[in-house]
Amino acid sequence: MEPKLETKCSFTYKAWLGKISSSRKFKVVGDDACDFAAAECKHGLGDLAVDKNENGDFTVNLAVSDQLTAESFSLVGAADSLTITGGDKIGLLYGVYKFLALLRQNADITAITNITKNTITEKPAIANRILNHWDNIDGSVERGYAGRSIFFRNNQLNYSAERLTDYARLLASVGINQICLNNVNVYLESAKLITEEKLPDLAKVADIFRPFGIRLIIAVHFESPVLLGGIQTADPLDEKVAQWWQNATKLVYKYIPDLVGFLMKADSEFRSGPAAMGRTQAEGARPIAKALQPFGGIIYWRCFIYNCMQDWRDTKTDRPKAAYDYFFPLDGKFEDNVILQIKHGPSDFQVREPNSPLLGAMKHTPQNMELQITQEYTGQQKDLYALAVQWHEVLEHPVTETRNTRDLIGTDKEIVALSAVANVGDDENWTGHLLAQANLYAFGRLTWNPNLTPKQLTEEWIACTFGNNPKLLAPLTEMMLQSRSVYEKYNAPLGIGWMVNIHHHYGPSVDGYEYMKWGTYHRADTKAIGVNRTGIGTGYTTQYQPYVRDMYENIATCPQEILLYFHRLPYDFLLKSGKTVIQHIYDTHFEGVEEVEQFIKTWDSLKDFMPQVAHETVKERLFMQLENAKEWRDVINSYFYRKSGIADEKGREFYL
C-alpha cells in the first residue's frame, strides 16, 4: 500500500492555472479549427472573457497555419489585440496557454501591453515530453506521496472525468504530450490493460487527454504472452510470441489509434525479461517493436538493470556500472522504434549523483532521459526540495569537453525524449506538499525548453500560483532554490547516497542498505568511507568519455559535493573547503537544520500573500521537515562520531 500522508493538503485543483485579475475584457476570435483552443482560452480568462457579441478591450485572434511546424506557435501583438498562431491545433493550444501564463504572471495592463509589443515564437525542444505515473491498478501509487491514484481503483480505471480534464489541462499548459498511467512494475491485473477487458475503459481516458495534445503510453509486462496469451514462453525469438505481440498491438491500436506505444521494465528488480531466457535486451525488445511499427508506435525500454541480489561482501561488482555494461555493447542493435529510457544517474534518483555514462555514449540508439519528480529519496513531499536545481546540474553535466547533457537533447540528437516519474495523487492540491507542484511545473517546462534556469522556472510557478508581488516572489524563490542544498546538507554526505530507512526510503539509516543485496554500500569503517570507483578501483569512471573520466578520477578535480561517490577517503582528509571530511559532515548537518528553521521564519513572513489554507498546509510540512532534518543530523553525526571517535571541533552534542 502507498504511504498516506495525514495532513490536509487543500489549496486548489487548478494549481498554477489560477484566476487572472485584470480590468480589461477579452474577446476571443477564431475559425472552427480553433474551437478547442478558443474554449480553453475563455476558460482560462474566466469572467474576463466577453461573448462574441459584446465589446472587449482586447481581441485575441486565434489561427492555425502550416507556415509553422507542429506543436509550435507564435504570439504577435498589437495595441489592443494579439494574434496567436499555431502550427497545428495543439501548437495553437500551447500558444493560448503561453498567453494565459503571461497574463497570470503579470497581472496588470502595462505588463500585458509590454508582452504584446514583441513577437514570441516557440517550439518544443523535442517531440517526446513524457510523464510516467507509477500508479498501480489497485489504486495505490508506488513511491506516491500525494494520496491514491487519480486513475485507478480496485483493478479498474476509476476516476473523475472532470479532474482528469483539469489534469490534462495542467500538463498541456507546461508542454507534456505523453503520459503513461500505469506503474512500470506491471502485475497481472495491469498487464490486462492491453486486453479487451480493459481497453474500452482506457480508450475513454485517451479521449479525455487527446484534445490537450496528450497521448497515452501503456506499461506492459514482458511475460504478457504467457500471462495473457497462454503461450508456454515469452522468449522473444519464438515465432508464437512475435505473433502474439502483433495481435495484441493491433487490438490496442483499434481502441487507441494515436497511442504513443509501450513502456517496458524488463530484467530489473525481479521483473522477468529476455536475460532470463539467454536473450539480449535488443532481442527482447524486437518482437514488440516490430509489432508497433505498422502503427508508428514506440517502445520505451528501461535501462535500469542491475544485480539486485548482490552479495554485499562482493567488492568487485559495482552497481553504477551495470546499465552501461548491459546496453552499450548493444548500440545499433535495436529496432529503430526502440527508445532506451535511462535514469539520469547511475544509482537511483539520489540527492547527488553523476550523470549516467550511457547518456550520449550510444550513437545509434535514441535515448529517453528519465528524471523523478516524486520525491522518493528527496523528502517524500514532506520536505521542501526544488528539483529544478538538481535537474539544471544534470543538464549541465559534461559529456565531453565541449558538450554537456543539454546539448544532447533534440529531435535529431542522442536524447529524443525526456520523461519523469509523476508526483501526483488524489490529494486536493495534486502533490501533497503544495510547493511540490513547482517540480511538476518545472519538469514540463524543461521538456519544452531545457534552457530555462531554475530561477526562471521557480519564479514562473510562484507568479502563476501566488502572483508576482516582489515581496513574495523574491524570498520564496530564494527559499525554494536553496531547498535542494539544504536537504543535501542533512542527508548522506558528499554524494555517498542511500543512507535511508529500507523499503520506504524516508529518514536516516546509515547502515540500512549496507549489508543488503541492493548493491549500495558506503563501506565506512573507523578510518575512512566510500568506494573507490576510479580505474584502480571498481573501474566505473572508465565508462565515461575521457574528459569526464579524468575529472572524476582526480581527487583535485572531482567536485567536492560528489567526492565520496568516486573516492574512498579518510575522515581526516582535507577538502578544498579547508575542512576535514568528518568536520564537513558535522558542520553541514548542523547547518541543514538551522536552514530549515530559517525556512519556517521565511514562510511565516509570507502569510499575507496567499490564502490561509495554502499557508497552513505548507507550514505543517515545514515542521515535519524540521523533525526530519534533526533526525538526520543526529543520526548521521552520532553514527560517524561513534565510528570515527573524532570529536566535533566546535564541541557540539552527539549521542551515545
Cell representation of residue 113: 501591453
Binding segment toward a second copy, per CB under 8 A, in 78-86, 130-138, 426-434, 522-530? 522-530
CB of 508 to a second copy, least distance (A): 7
Question: Strand locations in 56-190, DSSP E?
Answer: 58-64, 73-77, 81-86, 120-122, 128-135, 152-153, 156-157, 178-182
Closest CA to 180 of 211, 147, 148, 214: 214
**Which residue among 502, 546, 572, 611 contacts a second copy (CB under 8 A)?**
502
**Does 530 help bind a second copy (rule: CB under 8 A)?**
no
State the DSSP code for 107: -
Nearer to a second copy, 189 or 627 (CB): 627
- For residue 348, give the 3-state DSSP assignment: coil
Binding segment toward a second copy, per CB under 8 A, in 199-207, 245-253, 455-463, 510-518? 510-518
Interface with a second copy in residues 309-328 (CB under 8 A): 312-313, 315
Nearer to a second copy, 239 or 653 (CB): 653
Burial readout 465-487 (b: 16 or more C-beta within 10 A, e: otherwise): bbbbbeebbeebbebbbbbbbbb
DSSP states along 31-65: -GGGHHHHHHHHHHHGGGEE-TTSPPSEEEEEEE-
Nearer to a second copy, 163 or 630 (CB): 630
Closest CA to 303 of 370, 220, 349, 224: 370
- For residue 129, give the 3-state DSSP assignment: strand
**Does 508 help bind a second copy (rule: CB under 8 A)?**
yes
Grid cell 557540539 in the structure block, residue: 652
CB of 551 to a second copy, least distance (A): 27
Nearer to a second copy, 200 or 645 (CB): 645
Site string for a second copy, 382-411 (x = CB under 8 A): ------------------------------
Binding segment toward a second copy, per CB under 8 A, in 97-105, 230-238, 302-310, 502-510? 502-510
**653 assigned to active site:** no
Closest CA to 646 of 597, 584, 590: 584
**Does 569 help bind a second copy (rule: CB under 8 A)?**
no
**Does 492 help bind a second copy (rule: CB under 8 A)?**
no
Closest CA to 172 of 220, 117, 211: 211
What is the total count of residues that contact a second copy (CB under 8 A)? 26
Calculate ∠ Cα 46-47-52, nearest 5°: 95
- For residue 446, give the 3-state DSSP assignment: helix
Calculate ∠ Cα 254-260-262, nearest 5°: 90
**Which residue among 7, 22, 456, 509 contacts a second copy (CB under 8 A)?**
509
Catalytic residue from among 348, 353, 370, 488: 348
Residue type, 396: E
CB of 656 to a second copy, least distance (A): 5
**Does 527 help bind a second copy (rule: CB under 8 A)?**
yes
Binding segment toward a second copy, per CB under 8 A, in 93-101, 396-404, 446-454, 508-516? 508-516
Question: Strand locations in 328-380, DSSP E?
Answer: 338-343, 367-372
CB of 9 to a second copy, least distance (A): 25
Calculate ∠ Cα 370-373-379, nearest 5°: 130
Radius of gyration of the chain from Cα atoms? 25
Catalytic residue from among 57, 189, 238, 269: 269
Q: Using an 8 Å Cβ cutoff, are 288 and 242 in contact?
A: no
**Does 655 help bind a second copy (rule: CB under 8 A)?**
yes
**Which residue among 47, 230, 515, 536 contacts a second copy (CB under 8 A)?**
515
DSSP states along 520-572: ------SSEE----STTTT-GGGGS-HHHHHHHHSTTTS-GGGHHHH--EETT
Catalytic residue from among 376, 383, 460, 595: 376
Q: What contacts 218, CB < 8 A, 6 or more positions away?
A: 180, 181, 182, 193, 194, 202, 252, 259, 261, 262, 263
Nearer to a second copy, 311 or 478 (CB): 311
**Does 511 help bind a second copy (rule: CB under 8 A)?**
yes
Phi–psi pair at 435, nearest 5 degrees: -70, -15
CB of 203 to a second copy, least distance (A): 35
**Does 270 help bind a second copy (rule: CB under 8 A)?**
no
**Which residue among 194, 285, 492, 510 contacts a second copy (CB under 8 A)?**
510
Interface with a second copy in residues 430-449 (CB under 8 A): none
Nearer to a second copy, 109 or 188 (CB): 188
Nearer to a second copy, 403 or 523 (CB): 523
Distance between CA atoms of residues 487 and 464, nearest Å: 25
CB of 439 to a second copy, least distance (A): 29
Binding segment toward a second copy, per CB under 8 A, in 13-21, 140-148, 264-272, 523-531? 523-531
For strand 528-529 and strand 569-570, is the pairing parallel, antiparallel, or unpaired?
A: antiparallel
**Which residue among 149, 381, 423, 644 contacts a second copy (CB under 8 A)?**
644
**269 assigned to active site:** yes
CB of 654 to a second copy, least distance (A): 9
Nearer to a second copy, 502 or 574 (CB): 502
Compute the residue count for the chain: 656
**142 assigned to active site:** no
User: Taken in order 303, 304, 309, 310, is the CA torsion positive or negative?
Assistant: positive
**Does 570 help bind a second copy (rule: CB under 8 A)?**
no
**Which residue among 604, 642, 647, 649 contacts a second copy (CB under 8 A)?**
642
Nearer to a second copy, 623 or 655 (CB): 655
CB of 582 to a second copy, least distance (A): 12
Distance between CA atoms of residues 562 and 335, nearest Å: 36
Binding segment toward a second copy, per CB under 8 A, in 268-276, 307-315, 339-347, 545-553? 307-315
Site string for a second copy, 619-638 (x = CB under 8 A): ------------x--xx--x
**Which residue among 51, 325, 401, 525 contacts a second copy (CB under 8 A)?**
525
| CB neighbours of residue 579 within 10 Å | 17
Interface with a second copy in residues 73-102 (CB under 8 A): none
What are the residues binding a second copy (CB under 8 A)?
312-313, 315, 502, 508-511, 515, 523-527, 631, 634-635, 638-639, 641-645, 655-656
Catalytic residue positions, numbered: 269, 348, 376
